[in-house]
Amino acid sequence: MAVVATRNLTKVFKQGALGAVNEVNLETREGEFLVFLGPSGSGKTTLLRMIAGLETPTSGEILIGGKVVNDLTPRERRIAMVFQSYALYPHLTVYKNIAFPLKAQGVDRSLHQQKVEWAASLLGISGLLDRKPRELSGGERQRVALARAIVREPAVFLLDEPLSNLDAKLRLSAREELERFHRRIGTTTIYVTHDQVEAMAMGDRILVLNHGVVRQFGTPREVYDEPADTFVATFLGSPPMNLIELDDVIAGFRPEHFRLAEEVKDADRVAFKFRVENAEYLGAEYILSGCLVGGRADGKKIIARLLLGHTFEIGVTYDFAVPERHLKFFDRSTEKKVQARALTWQ
Amino acid sequence: MAVSQARVRSVGAAKSPLLGFAMFTPAVLYIVLLIGAPFCLAVFYAFSDARIGSKGLHYVGLENFRSILQSPSFHAALKHSIVFTLVAQIIVMVCANILSIALEKPFRGRGLVRFLILLPWVAPVSLGAIGWKWILDSIYSVISWLLGWLHLVNPFDPPMWLGEPKLAMASVILVHCWRLVPFSTVILLAGRTAIPKEIPEAAAIDGAGFWRTLFQISLPMMLPIMSVAFLFGTIFTFTDMTVVYILTAGGPYDSTQTLPSLAFTTGITGSDLAAGAAISVFLVPVLVVIAYLMLRMANRTELA
């Protein structure tokens, strides 16, 4: 096992253009499950590929286990990677796919069978060893890819959106399985995804990226509750945080903190009049969208997320409120988080 | 609306057989007149005693086949054909693989290099072969001149590229490879680019070096398309006589005589039409087997 770190890691594909990855500094902890989260084109995959050794950094350093590995081949970095498409070798059986890294790294032949069987049983694919990849389902392919990755007992695991090719139902169970798998082997893992739910659910910590720049690096709780800027605030959470521009700040609150005034017990709270324009019934909750009425933020679009128990009529204005402790503040020009302050809302 | 649509369709349907027939006929005529008729004629001659300049034409059964099977020059030509085809195909496959690897990744001037590599294929064969005839000439050969300049051969006694049996065969094979490599390169390049980029990357992560990735991952994945290129090249080489005819005309001492050129020299130059036809017809079963294998491979590639 090992710790992965980067120092001012930068990748510029086209000279003069903005880098795909810019000055990224990060350090994993031993055995951590770290998630790179960002929209497509945010540089998360490029960052992962540089750590894997598939992409050469323009500048900066990559360290694995305290050693600079910039000039080492992927093989010498002792990493394993699972690709989005799984990249199984189509002409080889599952057994030979899993045994390939052992062969390539010159592991003693007599150990192959035992190791392949160990990896296969860990992922519950012992019955599939004679099949070819094209005879497997998406979920089975993913497990073969994982088995091929763990069979050589790597120092670091890199996963590039391994769930995105599965259908929604399978994705949930595969996610759970991955989490259990990680707890069991305890290898430092870096996981790339654009899905904030996956990131929140699986990550010990999340590195939020946009345009190749780290926007925030913290635990799921930190990035959700204390977003460092408006990008993180709106990228995490579904529906995203409501943002209201007032004076030189942007005030924000999550849809689940925007509640009926009668339910908000806090003494320090901001009251709003909210006209419902659309209501979506999602079984366990309502998603209301509408706009504020009166006050300085008159007409501002707001999304609210409420548990069942009330009925709302479209076009009617209700009394809503947000506890002050749930208000977040961002600088209007830099969009970075700033200290909480008193605002006049009316 | 529905009625008018139905009418349109019926008018189209009434027209289409004629149109289809008109489109189809030139291809059928071409095949029947230029391939079918000569082929039938060749089979017919192979069982006769047809000779240029003779009016008599009699059925002689398998007499022509018996006589060519007993002729030493036929045996030699068969052997030369097999050597010529196999050696050329092996060299072509190796070179085409190397070129396809070199041309896969983008670099400055790749378009120009690709164009230059394709030139031998698009240039007329006769022109290329005549160029090679000069390059390999006994007096004016630039290869001999270069080797002499490098003190590798005696400039006053240069190798007779087309005048010594072994060298002549090697020269003919070399020129044929020069012609065929571009074609195979294009096919293999297509096969190589069809491999998803992640597969060689996964192999690199798994710890495989260049050779292991080549022999255990890329080549096996390209096997179906390589087989197609190989079999196509085999047919092309086995039936070709242009290079041999222009460079050596089968000489020296019949050392580069292949079956197609033997058929030509026997049937046309030697005016024994029947024997020439029999030699050509002898090629048919061999080619049918290769064509069958090729179609099966192509079919499998489509399915994969």
The full set of domains in chain A, from first to last, is 4-225 (3.40.50.300), 239-331 (2.40.50.140)
Between chains, do B205 and A54 touch, taking CB under 8 Å as contact? yes
Write the pLDDT tens digit of every residue in A127-141: 999 999 999 988 899
* Facing B221 at nearest CB: one of A91, A148, A152: A91
Q: In chain B, whose CA is at the least distance from the CA of A80? A: B205
Nearest CA in chain A to B205: A74
Question: Do A156 and A189 form a contact (C-beta atoms < 8 A)?
Answer: yes
Question: What residue of B is the nearest CA neighbor of A148?
Answer: B206
Specify the residue for token string 């950094």. A57
**If you write DSSP's letter for every residue of B80-122 in order, what string do you get?**
HHHHHHHHHHHHHHHHHHHHHHHHHS--TTHHHHHHHHHHHHH
Q: Parallel, antiparallel, or unpaired for β A269-281 and A317-323?
A: antiparallel
User: Which residues between 27 and 66 in chain A have a beta carbon less than 8 angstroms from any beta carbon of chain B?
Assistant: 52-54
Q: Which of B196, B198, B207 sits opposite A101 (nearest CB)?
A: B207
Q: Alpha helix (H) ranges present in A77-154?
A: 94-104, 109-122, 138-150
Q: Does the CB of A119 have a partner CB in chain B at under 8 Å?
A: no
Sketch the domain layout of chain B as residue ranges.
1-46, 66-303
* A104 Cβ under 8 Å from any chain B Cβ: yes
Q: Alpha-carbon distance B277 to B264, whole Å?
A: 9
- How far, in whole angstroms, is CA B21 from its chain's centroid? 32
Q: Which of A229, A175, A212, A181 is nearest to A197 (CA)?
A: A175
A101 touching chain B per CB within 8 A: yes
Average pLDDT over residues B101-125: 84
Tell me the ipTM for this assembly. Answer: 0.82
> How close is the nearest chain A Cα to the Cα of B204, in Å?
6
Residue A211 has φ and ψ, to the nearest 5°, of 50, 40
8 A C-beta contact, residue B181 and residue B96: yes
For residue A191, the cross-strand partners are A35, A159
pLDDT at A2 over 90: no
Dihedral over alpha carbons A277, A229, A36, A187 (to 10 degrees): -110
Is the Cβ of B38 closer than 8 Å to some Cβ of chain A? no
User: Domain B66-303 falls in which CATH fold?
Assistant: MetI-like fold (1.10.3720)
| pLDDT at position B6 over 50 | no
The least confident of A79-88, A126-135, B123-132 is: B123-132
Residues B153-177 pLDDT 10s: 776 777 777 777 788 888 888 888 8
Beta-strand (E) ranges in chain A?
Answer: 4-11, 21-27, 33-37, 59-64, 67-68, 79-82, 156-160, 188-193, 205-210, 213-218, 242-246, 249-253, 259-260, 269-281, 285-293, 301-307, 317-323, 328-331
- Could you tell me the pTM of the whole model? 0.78
- Cα distance between residue A271 and residue A345, in whole Å: 9
CB-CB under 8 Å, A152 with B201: no
What span, in angstroms and rounded, lies between the C-alpha atoms of B206 and B197? 15
Cβ contact, residue pair B204, A75, below 8 Å: yes
A152 touches chain B (CB under 8 A): yes
Q: How far apart are CA A52 and CA A42, in angstroms?
A: 18
Query: What is the average pLDDT value for chain B, to the nearest integer?
Result: 82
Residue B15 has what pLDDT? 62
> Is the minimum CB–CB distance between B210 and chain A shorter than 8 Å?
no
Question: With an 8 Å Cβ cutoff, are B203 and A75 in contact?
Answer: no
Report the alpha-carbon distance of residue B99 to residue B105 in Å, rounded.
Answer: 11
Residues 214-243 of B with CB under 8 A from A: 216-217, 220-221, 223
- Whether residue A105 lies within 8 A of chain B, CB to CB, comes out as yes
Probe site for chain A from B205, B213, B216, B226 (most A CB atoms < 10 A) = B205
Q: Judge whether residue A201 has pLDDT over 50.
A: yes
Q: Could you tell me which chain B residue has the CA closest to the CA of A87?
A: B199
Lowest-pLDDT range of A223-232, A325-334, B160-169: B160-169
Q: ∠ at Cα A42 (A209, A70), nearest 5°?
A: 80
Please give the pLDDT value at position B8.
47
Q: What is the structure's pLDDT at B2?
A: 45
Cα A7 to Cα A66: distance, rounded to the nearest angstrom: 12
Quote the DSSP letter at residue A136.
S
Residue B206 touches partner A, C-beta closer than 8 Å:
yes
Q: Where are the alpha helices (DSSP H) in B165-272?
A: 165-193, 198-205, 210-212, 219-238, 242-247, 259-264
Q: What backbone torsions phi and psi does residue A35 show, to the nearest 5 degrees?
A: -115, 130
**Contacts across the A-B interface (CB distance below 8 Å):** 58
Name the residue among B202, B209, B216 with its Cβ closest to that of A87. Answer: B202
The pLDDT tens digits of the residues spanning B140-151 come to 777 878 887 887
Q: For residue A45, list chain B residues with Cβ-Cβ distance below 8 A.
A: none
pLDDT digits (tens, 9 = 90+) for A259-269: 888 888 888 88
A173-197 average pLDDT score: 89
Q: CA-to-CA distance for B166 and B87, rounded, in angstroms? A: 13
Q: Which of B206, B211, B217, B301 to mutate to test the interface with A (most CBs of A within 10 A)?
A: B206
pLDDT at A230 over 70: yes
For residues A249 and A231, give the distance between their C-alpha atoms in angstroms, rounded to a whole number. Answer: 15
